[in-house]
């Protein structure tokens, strides 16, 4: 049998390239072996002969051969010519030669974790009027930068190592003071766990507080992040009806499946903004106590009440272990800060701290230290006071523009807080198609119907106003009005009032 011999012209060098000649020779051999041009056992030229053929220094070829030998691609015995190592597999067969090769397949758990429950039409890219987006133009960049510089310069403690996965002590102390003063949430700093996002909070808690198949109640319409977390955990998601006073557990009396988790936004219902009155809060606590359920209280946008004081948190009314309080700095500062938190019963502190470590959901240490300083020096409260006033102005401007342009074709209320508002249509409108058309025009609104579990909910849009300029409000409402001529339909005789 004839031994394979090194063919002419298999290596070409580009002397104008930034890639060193040694690297080019090494890559050329490696690619030729991978694609089968140089089969196992092929005799190679000596370093002297190959250097002469390529018109390069012999040391250049020696260095390339050393790299190939280190990877096991070529082998050489003393006094023998180098060869391509015997038994190397050919990697470069065509798809036709190999047969169809599928990629890795998601597990059942993987499919749940990767599911997009926000649905078609939900705005994922930043744009004007995007729901949930705070104002980029109002972020205190310079003061935040000073806090970050100070944190990176002075923070040299062991907190920078593998410790304090539940959050740095200074931020937890500041949060304990802030929540007690502003929200009536009285907890020890050690009960406050810092994570990287609200979604992380919900996902972690759903995984450890309920088993697959257990029931979870979710406001209808409700927050899609909570739905995603419950779905990922394999829970049965049961719709908890809402109205102008928020979630109403009395309407769940006929549901024979007792919940393990109940998710609510009592201070500011998502997405309509209703506040849950005391009677309903007490009824919710009693229902949860009788069912042995844990309430996840998402204190959604409570920082942005435009008048009066916010209703005290449900956490303050509950017994030990009944309620886990959830909060985030994504709206009051910026999502990119990546700091969120939850207030948990003492018995859960240690296991949840280990969970944060095991899942890698801990927040950046220097960002936490910077935020603690920002709260210490009064910058956070000053920032909140400023943006409340401006957000209120922008929210009222958006509502005014909608009413002037669309009249009684839509139902929309003056915002009492929040960074966004929900409107409903009096006509039968395909809000998913309408939202997609708005996004094509640069306005990142989302369809309201996606917030309903059964996809039979009311047609409408969720529009952000916190970061909206007067021009964006004017242009966005005008585009919406024009598109409604295409997507609008007959009047909804069933009524669309909330």
pLDDT tens-digit profile of 133-152?
999 999 999 999 999 999 98
Q: Which of 17, 89, 7 is nearest to 43 (CA)?
A: 7
- Whole-structure pTM value: 0.80
What per-residue confidence (pLDDT) applies to 370?
Answer: 95
Instruction: Dump pLDDT digits (tens) for 229-283.
Output: 999 999 999 999 999 999 999 999 888 889 999 999 999 899 998 999 999 999 9
Query: Can you tell me the mean pLDDT for 169-196?
Result: 95
Q: Is the pLDDT assigned to residue 117 strictly greater than 70?
A: yes
The pLDDT assigned to 403 comes to 96
418: which residues sit within 8 A by CB, 6+ positions away? 268, 273, 301, 304, 391, 395
Res 476 pLDDT > 70:
yes
- Candidates 330, 246, 328, 262; CA nearest to 297 is 262
* pLDDT (average), residues 127-137: 91
Half-sphere exposure of 135 (CA within 13 A, CB side): 26
Between residues 95 and 58, which one has the greater pLDDT? Answer: 58
Q: Does residue 95 carry a pLDDT above 50?
A: no
Average pLDDT in the chain? 88
pLDDT surpasses 60 at 494 = no
The pLDDT value given to residue 217: 98
Count of other CB atoms within 10 angstroms of residue 477 = 22
Q: What is the structure's pLDDT at 157? A: 67
Distance separating alpha carbons of residues 245 and 136, to the nearest angstrom: 32
């Amino acid at each position: 049998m004839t031994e394979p011999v090194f063919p002419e012209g298999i290596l070409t060098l580009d002397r104008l390239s930034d890639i060193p000649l040694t690297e080019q020779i090494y890559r050329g051999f490696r690619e030729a072996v991978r694609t089968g041009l140089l089969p196992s056992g092929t005799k190679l030229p000596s370093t002297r002969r190959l250097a002469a053929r390529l018109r390069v220094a012999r040391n250049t070829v020696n260095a390339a051969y050393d790299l190939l030998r280190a990877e096991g691609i070529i082998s050489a015995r003393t006094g023998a010519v180098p060869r391509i190592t015997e038994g190397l597999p050919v990697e470069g067969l065509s798809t036709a030669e190999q047969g169809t090769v599928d990629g890795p397949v998601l597990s059942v758990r993987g499919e749940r974790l990767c599911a997009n429950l926000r649905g078609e039409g939900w705005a994922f890219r930043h744009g004007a009027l995007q729901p949930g987006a705070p104002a980029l133009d109002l972020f205190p960049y310079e003061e935040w930068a000073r806090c970050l510089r100070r944190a990176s310069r002075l923070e040299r403690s062991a907190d920078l190592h593998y410790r304090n996965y539940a959050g740095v002590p200074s931020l937890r102390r500041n949060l304990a003071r802030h929540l007690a003063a502003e929200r009536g949430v009285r907890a020890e700093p050690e009960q406050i766990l810092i994570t990287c996002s609200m979604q992380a909070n919900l996902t972690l808690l759903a995984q450890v507080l309920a088993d697959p198949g257990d029931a979870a109640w979710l406001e209808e319409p409700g927050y899609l992040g909570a739905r995603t977390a419950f779905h990922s955990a394999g829970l049965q998601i049961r719709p908890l009806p809402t109205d102008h006073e928020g979630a109403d557990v009395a309407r769940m009396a006929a549901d024979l499946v007792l919940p393990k988790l109940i998710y609510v936004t009592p201070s500011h219902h998502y997405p309509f903004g209703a506040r849950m009155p005391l009677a309903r809060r007490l009824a919710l606590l009693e229902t949860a106590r009788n069912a042995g359920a844990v309430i996840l209280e998402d204190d959604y946008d409570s920082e942005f009440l435009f008048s009066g004081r916010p209703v005290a948190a449900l956490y303050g009314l509950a017994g030990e272990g009944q309620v886990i309080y959830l909060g985030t700095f994504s709206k009051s500062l910026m999502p990119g800060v990546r700091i969120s938190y939850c207030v948990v019963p003492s018995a859960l502190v240690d296991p949840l701290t280990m969970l944060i470590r095991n899942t890698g959901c801990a927040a950046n240490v220097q960002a936490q230290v910077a935020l603690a300083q920002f709260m210490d020096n009064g910058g956070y409260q000053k920032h909140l006071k400023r943006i409340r006033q401006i957000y209120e102005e922008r929210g009222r401007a958006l509502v005014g523009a909608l009413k002037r342009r669309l009249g009684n074709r839509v139902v929309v209320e003056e915002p009492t807080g929040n960074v966004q508002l929900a409107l409903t249509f009096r006509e039968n409108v395909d809000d998913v198609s309408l939202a997609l058309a708005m996004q094509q025009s640069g306005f990142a609104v989302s369809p309201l119907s996606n917030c309903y579990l059964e996809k039979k909910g009311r047609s409408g849009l969720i529009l952000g106003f916190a970061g909206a300029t007067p021009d964006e409000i004017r242009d966005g409402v005008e585009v919406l009005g024009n598109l409604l001529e295409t997507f609008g339909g007959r009047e909804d005789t069933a009524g669309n009032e909330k």
